[in-house]
Structure 1
Amino acid sequence: MNDVSSYVPGPPPAWVENFAKFGLIAKGVVYCLVGVVAFMAAFELGGKSTESAGKSGIFKTIQDMPGGNVLLGLVAIGLLCYTLWRFTQAIKDTAHKGSDAKGMGQRLRFMFSGLVYGALAFLAARMVIGNSGGGSGDSRETLAAKLLEQPFGQWLVGILALGTIASGLYQIYYGYSGKYKKHVQSGGLKHEVEEQMIRAGKIGYVARGVVWLVIGYLFGRAALSARAKEAGGSSDAFQFLESGSYGSYILAAVALGLIFYGVFMFMRAKYKPIY
């Protein structure tokens, strides 16, 4: 009689792995560029501002490069691949999370991630065909405005703020506690590569969590004041970080962390098993 507990899931189909790797590379490119531009904005280098470090600003930076439309199109396709991979993980359970409460929670997280990067893929594609469609901060402002128009709108925006803050706290916890290490250490990597991935992942997840915390705080201000203009995206979060005491250094530290996160995405694409 077969022992179900000894079942070891096989690798996913090749197309899932290819989509995931291409998507992780595109995500890494975006985060590395966000980090570089945010670092430049922190010290006012090259005329860069925090607005330039938002997702639409980064896409514009790519578009202004030689062959920029082609490059941005590749990024859009990569982000779409990442989206489809996340949806596949959520619906087909290729990561084998199961159908219990904890597993469904993780699969919902995959779905949410797919929606976020699907929206970014859509924005990049619109810019390729000549319609920028507004900045990342504007999209969140629009979302806050739509929610505030609904019954109990301030409560809805408040719930979104709390959810974003919770996500930021989880990112920081995930990085600081080293919970992601089990996935890195299960890949049979060389010790040096494994150590580099662990170090880049820790710094990257914490920096990403800080940005999410600030975005959640901005949504919280929008909820309390019932003013959608208080909400914002990553560029607004960078501006908020820069505005405080030692703001330039704080922003620079977070920017370097985001570069590490981008590098971690590249290393995941190259070394980490895909599921």
Structure 2
Amino acid sequence: MPDHLRAALAFGGYAAKTVVYCLLGLLIIGTAIGTFQAKTPSQKSVFVSIVQQPFGQILLGAVIIGMACYVLWRLTQAFFNADNLDSHSAKDIVMRIFYFVSAVIYGFGTYLAIKVFQGVRSSGSGSNSQQMSSNLMQETWGVWVVGICGALIIAFSFIQFKHAIKADFMDKFDRYAMSYRVDVIARLVGRCGFFARGIVYVLVGSFFTHAALTIDPQQAGGLQEALQTIMQQTYGQYGLAVVGAGFFTFGLFCALESWYHRT
């Protein structure tokens, strides 16, 4: 794949993530302080908020295109080794698998955004995670799949915490093109963002694992259930605000990554 096309896919994808994470962070903070809305935000509520703005369909359409670009970029990293990873290194092989899983996750997100763009509303009282778990558990192997999903999500959460501690995400930047101030800002917002993502993912993974152990799809949950769990804790309002701030800073991190990502 030509370098300019890879760069375009990466830029469009990270730009779309900037919009989604910044808006999601603001919605979470707004929920924590009780000013924007009482309902706990979800990924779908982000897309609904975008489409309700002036020229909302145009904005959401641009986000969908950007997210589709990000999916293609992740697939390019996974199958065409865009980052020139060592095919004989176990660590790099795992990284390419992660890129594929990331493409699948954002593929579902893109599909959800398209449904909102088309004006389709979800039916049923359960969350998307609960509905997916329920469908899987109807199969003989479904409980194992849900349990494995939970374990993988928990493992992914620890990767987020590792990034937050070590700041090894800076390796993906073209740091020669960055000023010292931008470098410091990228390190700070990246650490905050990855830490917040780690908190949410470890909760989501626990939900899936618990659903598999109890054979109860109602125990599964996604982003919305994770935020509700945080809110229900002692001083949960403050914890939710911290997570919202972390998601917003991750959006800023994605903005920097769209400009300085090394392709």
Matched, 1:13 2:3: yes
83, 86, 94: which is aligned to 1:98?
86
Deviation at 1:185, TM superposition (A): 6.5
CA distance in 1, matches of 2:188, 2:7: 24
Counterpart residue number, 1:42: 32
Question: Identity across aligned pairs (percent)?
Answer: 30
Counterpart residue number, 1:218: 207
Matched, 1:171 2:160: yes
CA distance in 1, matches of 2:44, 2:127: 10
2:175 and 2:260 in contact (8 A); partners too: no
Deviation at 1:152, TM superposition (A): 4.5
Residues 135-214 of structure 1 mapped to structure 2, 5 A cutoff: 138-184=127-173, 186-214=175-203
Residues 64-83 of structure 1 mapped to structure 2, 5 A cutoff: 64-83=52-71
Deviation at 1:198, TM superposition (A): 0.5
Deviation at 1:224, TM superposition (A): 2.3
CA distance in 2, matches of 1:199, 1:269: 17
Query: Residue 241 of structure 1 aligns to which amino acid in structure 2?
Result: I
Query: Residue 28 of structure 2 aligns to which amino acid in structure 1?
Result: A
CA RMSD across the alignment: 1.8
2:14 and 2:254 in contact (8 A); partners too: yes
1:83-120 Cα shifts (integer Å, max 9, x gaps): 00110111111111132232221111111111111111
In structure 2, relative to structure 1, the CA distance for the partners of 1:88 and 1:142 (3 Å cut) is same
CA distance in 2, matches of 1:154, 1:120: 23
Matched, 1:254 2:226: no
CA distance in 2, matches of 1:91, 1:159: 23
Residues 114-153 of structure 1 mapped to structure 2, 5 A cutoff: 114-133=103-122, 138-153=127-142
Deviation at 1:134, TM superposition (A): 5.9
17, 28, 32: which is aligned to 2:22?
32
Counterpart residue number, 2:100: 111
Q: May I ask how many residue pairs the two structures share in their alignment? A: 261
Runs of 4+ in 1 over 4 A off after TM superposition: none
2:196 and 2:243 in contact (8 A); partners too: yes
Deviation at 1:182, TM superposition (A): 2.8
Deviation at 1:123, TM superposition (A): 1.3
Which of the pair has more CA radius of gyration? 1
1:29-84 Cα shifts (integer Å, max 9, x gaps): 1011111101111121122421xx21111111111111111111111111000000
